[in-house]
Amino acid sequence: MSQIQEKTIELQNFSVTDLMSKEVLCVYEGWTIQRLAEFFLKNEISGAPVIASDHELVGVVSVSDIFRFENSDDETKSEALRRCYRDSTGIDIASREDLVNWSKNSQGSCTVHQIMTNDVISVGCDSTLSEVSAIMVESDIHRVFVTEDEKIIGIVSALDILRKLPAAEKSTQKKA
C-alpha cells in the first residue's frame, strides 16, 4: 500500500497571462437559449461573456445557466417568458393561452438576457495564478475574465489552471 504525500505546488510564480486564452468568444444578450446552446456545442465551450448590441459587457452565461432554466418549474419559466415578451414588444402577454402557446418552445423564445448572471468577475493582467484560483474558489465559478483598461483581453478557466499544475509540479521538483 502506497502512502499519499501532500505536495505544495508553487502557483504564485505563474502570471495569469501565462495561461489565459486570448481568443474570447462572446455571445449576445438577445440570442435565444437554443442558439446559445448550439454555440456552446459548436465551439466546445461551457461559458462566455455576454455583450449587448453596442458590444458593452453586460454579463456572463454558462451551460449551468441553461440547465438551471430548463429544469426550473413552470412558474419560473413563465415569469422569464413574460419578461422576455415585455422586453421585446413593450407590452405584457395578453392572455394565459398566449403564454402557454409561447412557452411550448421556451428555448426558442427566451433569450440569454433572461438566464445570464449580471455580475462579471474579472482580474487584471498582472494577477497571479494563485490569486485567480482563490477568486474562483471563493466565488464558486469556473472561469474569470482577464481585463486591461476595462476591456476583456483573455479568459482563464478552471481547466486552464489544472493544465498548468503538471508544469508547476515539475518546476517544484527541479528545485528540490
Q: Within 10 Å of residue 87's Cβ, how many Cβ atoms?
A: 13
What pLDDT is stored for residue 2 in this prediction?
38
- Over its C-alpha atoms, the chain yields an Rg (Å, rounded) of 20
Q: How far apart are CA 7 and CA 23, in angstroms?
A: 33
Packing angle of the helix pair 33-43, 63-70 (nearest 10 deg): 140
Q: Who wins on pLDDT, 71 or 167?
A: 71
Residue 108 main-chain phi, psi, to 5 deg: -90, -10
What pLDDT is stored for residue 114 in this prediction?
85
3-state secondary structure of 153: strand
What are 54-99's pLDDT values in tens digits? Answer: 888 899 999 988 888 777 776 776 777 677 666 666 666 656 665 5
Write the single-letter amino acid at 55: H
What are 14-63's pLDDT values in tens digits? Answer: 788 888 889 999 999 999 888 999 999 999 999 999 998 888 889 999 99
Q: Within 10 Å of residue 65's Cβ, how many Cβ atoms?
A: 19
CA distances from 158 to 45, 62, 153 (A): 12, 14, 17
Q: Who wins on pLDDT, 172 or 59?
A: 59
What pLDDT is stored for residue 3 in this prediction?
38
Whether 89 contacts 145, CB under 8 Å: no
- Domain ranges within the chain, ordered by starting residue: 16-175
CATH superfamily of 16-175: CBS-domain (3.10.580.10)
**pTM, two decimal places:** 0.69
Instruction: Give the pLDDT band of residue 7 (cuts 50, 70, 90).
Output: very low
Q: How far apart are CA 102 and CA 80, in angstroms?
A: 12
What are 128-161's pLDDT values in tens digits? Answer: 888 898 999 999 998 999 988 878 899 998 888 8
Q: Within 10 Å of residue 111's Cβ, how many Cβ atoms?
A: 20
